[in-house]
Every structure is written in structure tokens, then in C-alpha cells.
Amino acid sequence: MLRNAWVGVLGMALAASVVACGGGSSDTKPADSAAAPAGGGQKVDAATAGSVKGTVSVDGAVPKNDAIKMNADPVCVKQNASPQFQETYEVGADGKSLANVFVYVKDGLGNYSYDPPTGEAKIDQQNCRYHPHVFGMRVGQTLTIVNSDPTLHNIHAMPKGNAEFNNGQPIQGMKMTHTFSAKEVMVPFKCDVHGWMNAYVGVLDHPYFAVSDKDGKFDISNLPPGTYTLEAWHEKLGTATQSVTIGAKESKDVTFTFKAPAAATTN
Amino acid sequence: MLHRFSQFLAGCTVLLILAGSLVTSNDAGLSVPDWPTSYGWNMFTFPPSMWVANILYEHGHRLIASSVGFLTIIMAAWLWFAEPRRWLRWFGVAALGAVIAQGVLGGLTVLFFLPAAISTAHAGLAEIFFCMTVAIALFTSPRWIAGAAEPVDDAMLRTVATTTTILIYAQILVGATMRHTGAGLAIPDFPWMFGHVIPDHWSSAIAIHFTHRVGALLVTLVVLATSAHVYFHHGGRRELTRPATLIIALVAAQVTLGALTVLTQRNVWINSVHVVVGALVLATSLVISLRAWRVVIGERGLRTAESAIPARPSIRNPQSAIRTEGRA
């Protein structure tokens, strides 16, 4: 009897460790609770919804991106003939506008409910880079991870609030899916094979987020009237917040300006 | 022959430690995300064409580790069937257990995404296993088996050498903790610390790094004390003066490598060789300690051959003298 109990405990511990090692919800369907509209709050009225548009810029000399040596993998070298650099600071032609900044509504949404996310988020390993480098997705939304390269990659997510996972994709064209169960800004990805490959995803329980483009522009639409705290996140420059009030059908322009690090080398 | 084989195994273990340190220095520990398979392949059939970038370090480490494990099986079996000293036969089994546990720790640290505790334990057990291989090489050496006509019996040497060995091991554990908690550059300057003799601000990473630097100073002092004791009291004993000289050279190299690791912002090869030289410092100190304890081991009858051999056996063929009574 006692022996059976021990076997049972051991079995449960083993099962728990397998779950812990398994990287959470990879290749599984999103949980119903995550995919369903949040809570019992009111729906956003599209007739009165407004938007926030804006730009992200950097004030000062922009640091030079670190050079990348890809020569440890001949495939990566073949795919990238020109000198390669990290994507840390993606600055527009004006030398100020800043891409790859994740902008989202951090606070003020109250008790709204949202339709489940439609479609899937996607990250592709192509030319020994992650595409996109910064992106956003919803809790419970399916993230499809693709390896388009004729070399092998591992994708290693290092969240703090979600389950960490590390999966190999040795064959070109391989796909896997993953869902995040909790909101988290930001979840870093890295490829441990090719140390220069990194990406970031912002996981939110609402649809109000955007990533600045090469001109530093972003657009968050269908936002119900209200006062919100917006946050802009950059992988090196940190975060900046500001408050914005949206009236019915109103569109507000917002500008985020990050200060360049001191003693930066111009790009 | 067994002695030569155990020397070879110890040498392979040095290579294994270098391979392991290169994994950490290149941040390649998770470049092969599965274990014991490699990207779904059996480890031994994983195509060499896929050993690219950081996979070369991680997969290479696994293959070298497997080879060392295989060699350890041979050595343990060899000891079991050919070694007359019972305790040494079981010591070989213990070494095999250590290398198996080491492999399991290596696998677990991959599966659990390199937690500092498991990775540090993996590094700590690596040193213990290396010391076991060195000890087996020493215990099977003709000189050890034959003993000396006038054995060194110096309680002070035993104390200082053993203390030195323990301190070196503790210092290696602190170093491993520093590596696996990312505290290697927590204090970015050398010889100063944030421009001061003592850091002017603290965090857990700075404390670990600071402890490693203080530990280096302590180890240097106790090594010098051990070597000085050997020179002053046993200057004619080459089996002691040679490792005493070697360990001073190794510690000098080790301190230099440690400083360069900081000054070069953790250059991969400097950082990795620093780990290897640390292991060599430990092994050299262990040899001095064991030679200091040799007479006690003999007196306590741990070596069954000692009491049964009426006259000092020939160094050329000491095994034959032991075998006559070893299993009695």
C-alpha cells in the first residue's frame, strides 16, 4: 500500500517535471479562457471609437549598431554577403525616427471585452535573422514559428511570467506553434545557435498595440473614448509613458522622444 | 599499463573541462535544446554538417563527455578485475558513478534552461571527477605503490596542503557560481574595483565577483605557504618540490588569466583557459596533499599491499608484488 503511494507520488512528480520541461503550451490549442472575450465587460462601440497615431524619435546621436560575424555558419554567410549589424537602433533617413518600438495601452481600458484574436502571429527565421524583430500579439493567440533557412535554428523564449521554452528546428520549412497564457511586455527570443539572433514580442490581453515603422510611425485604432496611459518600449532605450485622452471618433497625435545614450557614436 | 590508461583518462578530462568551459563562454549551453538526443537525432548520428556555430561547442562537449564516460567504464572495469586494492576498486566504481551523475546534471541543466544551481553543481562535480581521475593515476603509479624508503611524515604539511586543496575547490565553486549567474563582469575593472580598493556599491553579483577576487588572494597565499613549507622542510623530495613549483607557476598564470578575463570583457578563450588552469591548480594541490597523506594511508592499512610486502618492491614491477597478497 505504502509502496503504491510512493509510486504514485513519483509518477506525479515525473509528470510535473515533464510539463515543466515541455515549454508550456507549444503546439497546443489556446486555452478557452484565454481565447474568449475577456470578462463580462462591454464591447467597444466602433461608431464612437477613435485612434492614437504618432511617431517615435530619438534625441541625440544614435549609437552605432554592433557588427555581426556570421562566419560560424556558412549558410548565414552565404545569405548575407554584405556587412551585417544588429537591429538595435533602426533609425530612419532623417536620423531621428526610430523603428521597432513597441507602443501599447498600458492602463485605462477599464472593463471592456474584446473579440478573440483572429489569425495568427508569426515569427520567421530567415537569412539568419528573426522577422519581425519586434512584434505584438494577444494572450491565447497562436504564434507560428517558422524556419525558412536551410540551416538549423533553435528558438528560445525567455519570458518571466509565461513558461520558458526552447525548441529546435533543424529542417528548412519546419513550423511549430505556441500560445502565451499571460500578458507580458516584452518576451525576448534568442537563437542559441546564432548568438546575434534576437527578437521581442509584447503579449497583451487587449488589441491596442503597434510597432513603429522605419519612419517611426505607429497607429493604434478602434480605441474607445477615454484617458489612457501609453507606453513605448525600446530594447535598449527602455520605456517612456504619457497620458492621452481620446474623445468620441477623435484621433490624437502623440510623439515619443527617447534620449540617446550619452557618449554615443553616430551611426 | 593501467597507470598509463588512467593518465590518459585524466588528460581527456582536461580536454572535457575545456570543452565545457567553451560552451559557457560562448553562451552555447542551449544551442542543442534537447537531451539526450540532439535535434531529435541520436547523439552519435547527428550529422556533422549540422555542427554549425554554437552547436559545435555544445554537441562537441557532449561527444567528448560520452567518450570520457566510455573510458571511465573501461577504467572502472579494469580496476575491478585487475586491481588488488579493494578500496581502489570501489574508488573506480565511484568515479564511474560521478561521471554518470555528471552526465545527468549536464542533461538536466539543458532541460531546465541552465538554472544557476544545476549548472554550478555540474561545474563542481566536473572538478571532483577530474580529481578522482588524477587520484587514480597517482594511486596506480609505480612510485606510489612502491612507496619511499623514507616516507614523508609531516603533520604540518598534511594540514597546510589539505587546507590549500579545500580552499582552491571552494574558490572554483565561487568562480562557477560567478560564471553561471552572469557576474563575471559585475566588477568591470582590474585591479581596482569601480576605481576603489573595495567596491563603493553592492549587489549580489558584485558580492559574488568580489568574493572570487578575495578568494584568489587567499588561494595565492595558501599556495605560497604550502610551497614554502615544501621547499624549507622537504627540499630534497622531488615528488613534492616539483608539484610545489608547478602550482606556483599555475597560480601565477591563473591570476593573470583572471585579470585578462575582466580586462578583455570575457574573451572566450582566455575565459575558458582560466577554467582549465583552475582545474590544474586544484589537481596539483591534490597531488601534494595525497603525497603528504601517503604515509598515513599506508599505516592505516588502506593500501593492503603495504603491510604485506616484506621488502620494498621494484619500482619497475610493483604490481607483481602487490598481486601476491592483494586479494588476501
Instruction: For residues A224 and A153, give the distance between their C-alpha atoms in angstroms, rounded to a whole number.
Output: 41
Asked if the interface predicted TM-score (ipTM) of this complex is over 0.95, the answer is: no
Beta strand A226-234 with A238-246: parallel, antiparallel or unpaired?
antiparallel
CB B140 within 8 A of CB B3: yes
pLDDT at B299: 55
pLDDT at B151: 83
Q: What is the pLDDT of residues A176-188, one digit of tens each?
A: 999 999 999 999 9
Q: Examine the pLDDT at B199 and tell me if it is beyond 50.
A: yes
pLDDT at B307: 43
Question: Under an 8 A CB cutoff, do B52 and A74 touch?
Answer: yes
Q: What is the pLDDT of residues B223-274, one digit of tens each?
A: 999 999 999 999 999 999 999 999 999 999 999 999 999 999 999 999 999 9
Residues B136, B177 within the same domain: no
What mean pLDDT comes out for the span A73-87? 95
B188: pLDDT confidence band, cut at 50, 70 and 90?
very high
Closest-CA distance of chain A to residue B262, Å: 20
Residue A193 near chain B (CB below 8 Å): yes
pLDDT at B328: 29
Q: What is the pLDDT of residues B215-226, one digit of tens each?
A: 999 999 999 999
- What rounded mean pLDDT belongs to chain A? 86
B288 occurs within a structural domain = yes
B150: pLDDT confidence band, cut at 50, 70 and 90?
confident
pLDDT at A40: 64
Chain B neighbors of A158, CB-CB under 8 A:
113
A4: pLDDT confidence band, cut at 50, 70 and 90?
very low
**Which of A26-40, A54-68, A105-119, A156-170 shows the lowest per-residue confidence on average (mean pLDDT)?**
A26-40
Residues B159, B274 within the same domain: yes
By C-alpha distance, the chain B residue nearest A164 is: B113
Q: What is the pLDDT of residues B73-101, one digit of tens each?
A: 999 999 999 999 999 999 999 999 999 99
Chain B neighbors of A74, CB-CB under 8 A:
52
pTM of the model: 0.84
Those residues whose C-beta lies under 8 Å from the C-beta of residue B97, and which sit 6 or more positions away, are: none
Those residues whose C-beta lies under 8 Å from the C-beta of residue B121, and which sit 6 or more positions away, are: B105
Closest CA to A258 of A105, A55, A65: A55
B83 occurs within a structural domain = yes
pLDDT at B313: 42
The single-letter DSSP state of residue B139 is: H
What mean pLDDT comes out for the span B293-299? 81
Residues B184, B252 within the same domain: yes
Task: State how far the alpha carbon of A262 is from the alpha carbons of A241, A256, A265, in Å.
Answer: 21, 18, 9
Residues B293, B155 within the same domain: yes
DSSP string, B226-270: HHHHHHHH-TT-HHHHHHHHHHHHHHHHHHHHHHHHHHTTS-HHH
Instruction: For residues B147 and A265, give the distance between their C-alpha atoms in angstroms, rounded to a whole number.
Output: 67
What mean pLDDT comes out for the span A234-240? 97
B318 occurs within a structural domain = no
Q: Examine the pLDDT at A117 and tell me if it is beyond 80.
A: yes
Neighbouring C-beta atoms of residue B318, cutoff 10 Å: 22
Amino acid (one-letter) located at A9: V
Q: Examine the pLDDT at A264 and tell me if it is beyond 70.
A: no
The single-letter DSSP state of residue A207 is: S
CB A245 within 8 A of CB A255: no
Q: Examine the pLDDT at A39 and tell me if it is beyond 60.
A: no
pLDDT at B111: 97
Question: Under an 8 A CB cutoff, do A154 and B30 touch?
Answer: yes
Residues B209, B273 within the same domain: yes
B313 occurs within a structural domain = no
By C-alpha distance, the chain A residue nearest B39 is: A168
Q: What is the pLDDT of residues A176-228, one digit of tens each?
A: 999 999 999 999 999 999 999 999 999 999 999 999 999 999 999 999 999 99
Residue ranges and CATH numbers for the domains of chain A are 2-259 (2.60.40.420)
Chain A neighbors of B33, CB-CB under 8 A:
154, 156, 166-168, 192
Closest-CA distance of chain B to residue A115, Å: 35
Secondary structure of residue A50 in the 3-state scheme: strand
Q: Which residue among A20, A156, A193 sits closest to B55, beta carbon to beta carbon? A: A193
Q: What is the pLDDT of residues A129-170, one digit of tens each?
A: 999 999 999 999 999 999 999 999 999 999 999 999 999 999
φ and ψ at B57, to 5 degrees?
Answer: -70, -50
Instruction: For residues A12 and A20, give the distance between their C-alpha atoms in angstroms, rounded to a whole number.
Output: 12
Q: What is the count of structural domains for chain B?
A: 2
Residues B182, B204 within the same domain: yes
Q: Tell me which residues of chain B have a C-beta less than 8 Å from any C-beta of chain A.
A: 26-34, 39-40, 50, 52-56, 111-113
Q: What is the pLDDT of residues B57-75, one digit of tens each?
A: 999 999 999 999 999 999 9
Residues B175, B86 within the same domain: no
pLDDT at A41: 79
Residues B160, B95 within the same domain: no
Q: Which domain holds residue B51?
A: 1-140
H or E segment to which residue B131 belongs: helix B116-139
* Residue that is last in its domain, among B99, B119, B140: B140
Starting at the edge strand found earlier in the chain, the sheet holding A121-126 runs A129-131, A121-126, A143-147, A175-178
CB B267 within 8 A of CB B112: no
B180 occurs within a structural domain = yes
R_g of chain B computed on alpha carbons: 21
Residue A34 falls in which region: left (phi positive, over 0), alpha (psi -120 to 50) or beta: alpha
Q: Residues 99 to 128 of A: which have CB under 8 A from any B CB?
A: none
Q: Examine the pLDDT at A85 and tell me if it is beyond 90.
A: yes
pLDDT at A263: 61
Chain B neighbors of A20, CB-CB under 8 A:
112
Residues B247, B172 within the same domain: yes
Beta strand A112-113 with A42-43: parallel, antiparallel or unpaired?
parallel
Residue with cell 580529481: B131
Q: Which residue among B40, B54, B113 sits closest to A166, beta carbon to beta carbon? A: B113
Chain B neighbors of A21, CB-CB under 8 A:
111-112
- Judged on CB neighbours under 10 Å (0-12, 13-18, 19+), A59 is exposed
pLDDT at A227: 97
Residues B6, B97 within the same domain: yes
Residues B207, B292 within the same domain: yes
Instruction: For residues B80 and B88, give the distance between their C-alpha atoms in angstroms, rounded to a whole number.
Output: 8
B308 occurs within a structural domain = no
Closest CA to A90 of A67, A62, A118: A62
Closest-CA distance of chain A to residue B119, Å: 16
Instruction: For residues B192 and B206, give the distance between their C-alpha atoms in angstroms, rounded to a whole number.
Output: 13
H-assigned helices in A57-132: 74-79
Those residues whose C-beta lies under 8 Å from the C-beta of residue A141, and which sit 6 or more positions away, are: A30, A35, A117, A120, A121, A179, A180
B78 occurs within a structural domain = yes
Instruction: For residues B21 and B266, give the distance between their C-alpha atoms in angstroms, rounded to a whole number.
Output: 12
Q: Examine the pLDDT at A28 and tell me if it is beyond 80.
A: no
Q: Examine the pLDDT at B20 and tell me if it is beyond 70.
A: yes
B3 occurs within a structural domain = yes
Residues B166, B126 within the same domain: no
- What rounded mean pLDDT belongs to chain B? 91
CB A168 within 8 A of CB A154: yes
